[in-house]
Chain A
């Protein structure tokens, strides 16, 4: 069965510290992988995506993620967290180029940033 697991429900990081949010997926075919961010009451904004090529992908707001096929992981990282990064982060997996087939989201990780 296709699934996405985000093991950490809530993470608190000090401002300026590094961040890693974990994501593991189970998917039978070649997946697209995504990280979205959601601020309270807002829509989901794409941070970055992976579908082929270099396994280290750069996204917006200084985020990056590394695809590790052997570990079925797609962890999100940021070297120095800012207070404005506090939000809900969702990892998602989707099929390779199949029109209309939905993304599967993980349960999300809430990031809090302490000063």
Chain B
């Protein structure tokens, strides 16, 4: 079965650079979530989109932005990167009206040097 696809899987950036992460949800899923997980931490919710509209907002820095496109894929844009942005970024998708289960991708590991 198709899963959530995230790219790139690994990314290395310098401080103050920008980075873009992409997420392709499971086909027919209409909701996308972004989470950030620091080393040894639990996943922290950043932002979500339902039917291409922002649905919920968590602890997403102002330097970050995201959107969901017409084909339901989503991109997380991160600017003015800081060392503390180094983390595993997860995308998850779900289908509204189902049992609320989030299906997670394998994550994109961002390292800021």
Contact = CB atoms under 8 A, between A and B. Distances in A.
Interface of A: 32, 34, 36, 41-46, 49, 51, 90, 94-97, 99-108
A51 B42 contact: no
Contact of B56 (A34, A90, A101): A101
A34 B94 CA distance: 14
B72 interface: no
A1 B20 CA distance: 33
A11 to B, nearest CB: 16
A107 B31 contact: no
B31 A100 contact: yes
B55 to A, nearest CB: 2
A97 B43 contact: no
Nearest to B48: A100
Interface in B79-105: 88, 90, 92, 96-97, 99-105
Contacts of B104: 36, 43-45
Contacts, number: 75
A43 B50 contact: no
Given A32-B100, A43-B104, A100-B33, 4 more contacts: A36-B104, A44-B43, A46-B103, A99-B50
Contacts of B106: 42-43
A32 to B, nearest CB: 4
Contacts of B49: 100
A107 B42 contact: yes
Given A100-B49, A106-B42, A107-B42, A32 B99 contact: yes
